[in-house]
Amino acid sequence: MTMPEILKPLKTWEHLSGARRKPSEYEIVSTNLHYSTDDQNSPFELDPNFDIALWFKKYRNESPIKHPDWNSFRDPDEIVYRTYNLIQDGQEAYVFGLLDQFSDREHDKALSPSWVALLGRLYTPNRYLFHSLQMHSAYICQMAQASTISNCATYQTADHLRWLTHTAYRTAELAKVHGAAGFGLNEKNRWLSDPAWLDIRELVEKALVAWDWAESFVVLNLIVKPSIEGATIRSLGESARRNGDTLLGLLSDAQLVDASRHQKWSRALVKKMLEQDENREQLRVWIRKWMPLAKAAINSYCQYLVEVPDAAERSIATVEEFHASLGL
């Protein structure tokens, strides 16, 4: 046999060594980490056609959204684990500082009965919604075509647990001051049967079972999240400020910092998808398919935010402008 050339050490991983610049820490620890995408016919070192292998072949490998090099995707914020904790520990210190101060000032005692009732109806049931976003993000994490996409979904999953945590915390606080209002007791019923939530719940239940990985991303990050962020976070926060609930306004703003980071990577991933022109029509098909449910969800919820009369209109417009800005 002829001996091949002897490989020399490189300055970085072989797959990054073609670039003209030194790779960043982000690239060193985030790129090319999924190996189950290597053999399209057999995702795992197991039978090529047992049930979970078929799931990955059908919903990931055979997705109508194609790209020859998914591993070229980059998170525009280049978040790595240690920076994620640095950022969010700082954010949580801020939020818990707020919670501490407002509690010392007996903020909740000053809330009007009608606003307290509205919080029980439109705010605290959010924990079911936020948990569904957490679950859904975790699906995208495990099904994504590239580790750089999965990582964005991982941090997004954790961010939604963060939102759920804030909501659970506030639920317990409100229950202490307004025991008769049913905080911590009535949320599930509201979530299941209140007309303010029914259409949102229909949207997220159906979204959770959109199994194609790309459709799952589109419906969560381009439809569900922008819709509910406009309605149950931003518009509710505005309504809060108009009802003397400064705390909820500030909490909402803190969560929207996460949401805008999620939008940044979503925008980058759509851009990556649109490098293949054939993908544009399929993305539009999905947006057309899901927008009616999203609009219904926004309208049903926002009609109860009487102090923000244009909440629904603005929320829908924001979602549509987002899509337009993506070229969809």
Partner 1 sequence: MTILDRSEWYDIARETNWTPTFVTEEELFPEVMTGGLGVTRDKWEKYDEPYKTSYPEYVKIQREKDAGAYSVKAALERNKLFETADPGWISILKSHYGGLALGEYAAMSAEARMTRFGPAPGMRNMATFGMLDENRHTQLQLYFPHEHCSKDRQFDWAVKAYHTNEWAAIATRRMVDDLFLGRDAISIAIMLTFAFETGFTNMQFLGLSSDAAEVGDYTFSSLISSIQTDESRHAQIGGPALEVLIANGKKAEAERMVYQGIAGAWRLFCVLTGPSMDYNTPLAHRKHSFKEFMQEWIIGQFERSLIDLGLDLPWYWDKLVAEFDYMHHAYQLGLWYWRPTIWWNPAAGVTPDERDWLEEKYPGWNDTFGKCWDVIIENVVAGRMDKTYPETLPILCNMSQLPICAIPGNGWNVKDYPLEYQGRTYHFNSEIDRWMFQQSPERYRDHMSLVDRLLAGQIQPPDIGGILKYMNIAPGECGDDAHKYAWADAYRVNPFSKSAA
Q: Shortest gap between Cβ of 239 and partner 1 (angstroms)?
A: 23
277 DSSP 8-state letter:
T
Scanning 39-47, 217-225, 239-247, 319-327 for contacts with partner 1 by CB under 8 A, the matching segment is 39-47
Q: How many CB atoms lie within 10 A of CB 217?
A: 28
> Which of 253/321 has CB closer to partner 1?
253
Q: Shortest gap between Cβ of 242 and partner 1 (angstroms)?
A: 26
Q: Is 22 in the site for partner 1 (CB under 8 A)?
A: no
DSSP-derived 3-state class of residue 36:
coil
Candidate list 19, 86, 257, 285; residue touching partner 1; CB under 8 A:
86
Scanning 92-100, 112-120, 253-261, 315-323 for contacts with partner 1 by CB under 8 A, the matching segment is 92-100
Q: Is 142 in the site for partner 1 (CB under 8 A)?
A: yes
Cβ atoms of 219 and 290 closer than 8 Å: yes
For partner 1, the binding residues in 45-74 under the rule CB under 8 A are 45-53, 55
For partner 1, the binding residues in 122-141 under the rule CB under 8 A are 127-128, 131, 134-136, 138-139, 141
Q: Is 151 in the site for partner 1 (CB under 8 A)?
A: yes
Chain CA centroid to CA 205, Å: 15
Candidate list 40, 85, 276, 325; residue touching partner 1; CB under 8 A:
85
Candidate list 184, 256, 299, 307; residue touching partner 1; CB under 8 A:
184
Q: Is 78 in the site for partner 1 (CB under 8 A)?
A: no
Q: Shortest gap between Cβ of 177 and partner 1 (angstroms)?
A: 12
284: buried, middle or exposed (CB in 10 Å: 19+, 13-18, 0-12)?
middle
Q: Is 88 in the site for partner 1 (CB under 8 A)?
A: yes
Cα 324 to Cα 298: distance, rounded to the nearest angstrom: 19
For partner 1, the binding residues in 186-225 under the rule CB under 8 A are 187-188, 191-192, 201-202, 205-206, 208-209
Q: What DSSP line would sit under 231-271, residue for residue? A: IIIIIHHHHHHHTT-HHHHHHHHHHHHHHHHHHHHHHHHHH
52: buried, middle or exposed (CB in 10 Å: 19+, 13-18, 0-12)?
exposed
Helix (H) / strand (E) containing 172: helix 147-177
